[in-house]
Amino acid sequence: MSNLETVAQRVLTPLILDKPGIIAPEDQAAIAAWVHKTALTAMLLSSKEQRENGYGLSPSEYGALYERRELVQPLDFSQFWIGRFEGVKGFSAVRVTPLTVRIPGFPEPPLPQGYAMTVVLGAVLLHGVRFITPGLRVDTTTDLGMPPLWPSDTPVTWPVGQTCTEKSLLALANGHTLSATGGEIRLQPWSQAAHLPRSAFENGSVKVPALCRKHDIYYPAVLLREAHQGRFYAFITSCECTGTAYLIQTDSDRVRFRGTGEPEGIAAMYAEMDGDEFVIEDQGGEFACKRLLA
C-alpha cells in the first residue's frame, strides 16, 4: 500500500505547508484511503494487552482494507472531509473515536456501529467516518462546513469552510461535530470509550483515570492551580500497564492525553514541545514537567 503514501505526499505536502491548492477527483479516493490506513495503523500502536481487552478495531477492518488495495479506495459506507487546522506550528495527531447511531427512545447500543477518524498534519485536517454496521449507515455532515473529499466527483478547493483550532479540534476528533442528515437519528461517541470518570484529589495530588481504565496517574495539585491562571504544562507519566507511557498536557478545564505508547516515542514527542523545564517538589517527591509557551 505504499502507493497511497506516494499520492498523499504529492497531494498533501503543499497543504501541510498551508499553501492553497486543488485536489483533483482522480486523487480523492487515494487520499481518503490513506487517511483510513493511517487511522487503522495508529490503533496498532496500542499495547497487546490493550487490544486483548477490546481497545482498538476489529481485525476484519484491516483485512477488508488490504483486500481493496487494488481499488485504492477506503472501505464502503465511509465519508471523508478535508479542512484547515490552525494551531501549534508543526502539530500532528491521529485519533479514532468509536461512534453509536442513536435512535430516540432506544438505549445506547452495547457496541459501536462505526468510528470517526481524524488526522492532522501541519495545516491540513482530514476527517472521516466509517459505519461498520451497513444497515445503520446514515448520510453525514460536519458542523465546520468542510468540503467532502470522498465520495466526490468534483475538484476540491482547499481551504474551504471554518478553520479548526486547537480548542475545537477535540470536539471534532471526539465525533461531536458529526450530524446525520434528515430525521431524528443522531451520531454520538460511544460512552464507554468517550466518558472517563472525573479526576479527584488524593494525598495532595490530582488523580486522573488512565486510558487503560484499569489504573490511575497522578500529578501535583499546583499544576491545577497554574491552569486556573492560564499557565499550562506538559509531562510524561505511566501507569501499571507494562511499557505504556503517556504524554499529558494540562488545559483550562481538563488534562489531555496527547500521546500514548512506548516510552522512547513519548519522550521524543515531549522533547519537541516548546517550553521551559521545571522540577516541582511535593509530597510524592520530584516531578519533572515543561511549562508550555503561550
The DSSP secondary structure of 98-130, one letter per residue, reads EEEEE-TTSPPPSS-SEEEEEEEETTEEEEEEE
Cα R_g (the chain), whole angstroms: 20
What is the secondary structure of 269-289 as a DSSP string? Answer: HHHHS-EEEEEEEETTEEEEE
Q: Kindly report, residue by residue over 7-44, the tens digit of the pLDDT.
A: 999 999 999 999 999 999 999 999 999 999 999 998 88
The Cα 257–Cα 66 span in angstroms is 30
pLDDT at 53: 55
* pLDDT, the chain, mean: 87
Q: What average pLDDT score do residues 210-215 get?
A: 80
- Chain centroid offset of residue 271 CA: 21
Q: Cβ distance 270 to 221 under 8 Å?
A: no
Q: Cβ distance 65 to 36 under 8 Å?
A: yes
pTM of the complete model? 0.70
Q: What average pLDDT score do residues 150-176 get?
A: 91
The Cα 23–Cα 26 span in angstroms is 8
